[in-house]
Structure 1
Amino acid sequence: MDYHFRKAKISEIPQIWDILQLAIKRRKEDGSDQWQDGYPNLEVVQNDIEKGEGFVLTEGETVVGYCAILINDEPEYAKIEGKWLTNDDFVVFHRVAISEKYLGKGCAVKMIGHIEDFARNNNIYSVKVDTNFDNFAMMKIFEKLGYAFCGHVYFRGAQRNAYEKVLHKSKF
């Protein structure tokens, strides 16, 4: 499969929103309260893309995954209950969702690899992320990829597990 990772386009919002809606439904079916409070929503996605922070993983013309990438922009991370590995510049990613048709094909791992490349390309060697305490699939991916559990952060009153990975200056 030939996957590409790039900034999302406004015209792709319907595809992205379909992927996110199914991911929201999947989280609910898994018994999770993550993403069950009206977030993320269409406005959040449009805002991501307009600010140049929305990214897609594609196969040909098909959007197979979505995420938002920000640099040094997560105020809640300053209030961590625990300790980050670094205090330098960091890339943070949110709203990772993979199309139903592409689940189990390693697309989330591919996407996170591209996010790490994005960080390196911006001379940033820390990637920070959080997920719900019951998102076992994502926590397993973080552990597999070498992310360290650093403590807890809070979003909209909910506790989340916080992770960080320190990147090497070059991939090789």
Structure 2
Amino acid sequence: MTYHFRKATTSEIPHIWIILQQAIARRKVDGSNQWQDGYPNPDVIQNDIDRNAGFVLTEDDTIIGYSAVLINDEPEYQKIEGSWLTDDDFVVFHRVAISEKHLGKGLAKKLMNFIEEFAISNNIYSLKADTNFDNFAMMAIFEKMGYTYRGEVHFRGSARKAYEKVISKNELG
């Protein structure tokens, strides 16, 4: 299998939306409140793509995952209840979702590894993200991948767990 991580295009929104709808349904089945309020939706994906922040994970030519990836662009992170490990430039990612047909293959981790490579290629060594208090699967991935819990941030009226990973420049191959 050959995996690629690249910017999404507007024509791919319908396919991305299917993947996000599957993830929304999974959150609900898991008993999570995350993404049960009409967010994300196709307009959010369009906005990601318009801002050059929408990225897809592909297997050969098939889209199997999605994430929004931005540099220094999360105003809510300035209001953290807690503290970040760094105050330097950072890459933030949101809306990590893997296609239902491709679950259980470690692809969320693979997608996050591509995000780390994206950060390094931009000479950025801090990655920040957040998740809902009841998204235990994502919290487990953060812990396995070396992210540190840093406190709470707030989105759309609810508290979220904030995480940061600092990539050591010596670790780079």
TM-score (norm 2): 0.97
Q: Output one character per residue of 1:62-89: Cα deviation in whole Å (capped at 9) or x when no partner.
A: 1000000011010100010101000110
For structure 1, the 5+ residue unaligned runs are none
Q: RMSD value over aligned CA atoms?
A: 0.8
Which SS does the other structure have where 2:33 is aligned?
coil
SS of the residue 2:93 aligns to: strand
Quote the Cα distance in structure 2 between the aligned partners of 1:78 and 1:71.
Answer: 14
Question: Identical aligned pairs, as a percentage?
Answer: 70
> Aligned-pair distance for 1:171?
2.2
Deviation at 1:163, TM superposition (A): 0.3
The Cα offsets for residues 41-96 of structure 1, whole Å up to 9 and x where unpaired, read as: 10000111121100000011110000000110101000101010001100000000
Aligned residue number for residue 34 of structure 1: 34
Where do 4+ consecutive residues of structure 1 move more than 4 Å?
Answer: none
Q: Deviations for 1:80-114, whole angstroms, at most 9, x for unmatched residues? A: 01010001100000000000011010100000000
Aligned to 1:28, the other structure's residue is in SS state helix
How many Å separate the matches in 2 of 1:30 and 1:137? 9
Partner in structure 2 of residue 20 of structure 1:
20
* Amino acid corresponding to residue 101 of structure 2 in structure 1: K
Equivalence for 2:139? 139
Count of paired positions: 172
C-alpha distance in structure 1 between counterparts of 2:60 and 2:14, whole Å = 17
| Distance in 2, Cα, partners of 1:138 & 1:48 | 21
Secondary structure (helix, strand or coil) at the match of 2:172 reads coil
2:10 — aligned with what? Answer: 10
CA distance in 2, matches of 1:138, 1:26: 12
TM-score scaled by length of structure 1 = 0.98
SS at match of 1:119: helix
